[in-house]
Amino acid sequence: MISGMEQQAHITVSGDLEGEFVITEERGDNEFVIARETAWRAAQRRAGAREATDEEFAAFEAEHGPFLPPDGEG
């Protein structure tokens, strides 16, 4: 079993099942248990999204105001 604190091996699968996965368990010589990669960057790639450029972020803040830190209200 691969511990959550260890760096998991990443693989890309193509065919009937496609996408980015991580190996969560190794079972013997040629058998693995995989799970879909859920990291933010992987989710962005699946959605065809990207990070905003500095210019886009500045334009967003100019239109909507700056991002403020959370104030602890819940």
Domain boundary assignment for the chain? 10-64
- At residue 62 the predicted structure's pLDDT band, cuts being 50, 70 and 90, is very high
Beta-bridge mates of residue 19: 13
pLDDT at 73 over 80: no
In angstroms, the CA 72 to CA 58 distance is 25
What does the pLDDT average to over 24-50?
A: 84
Segments of 17-59 assigned E as strands: 19-26, 32-36
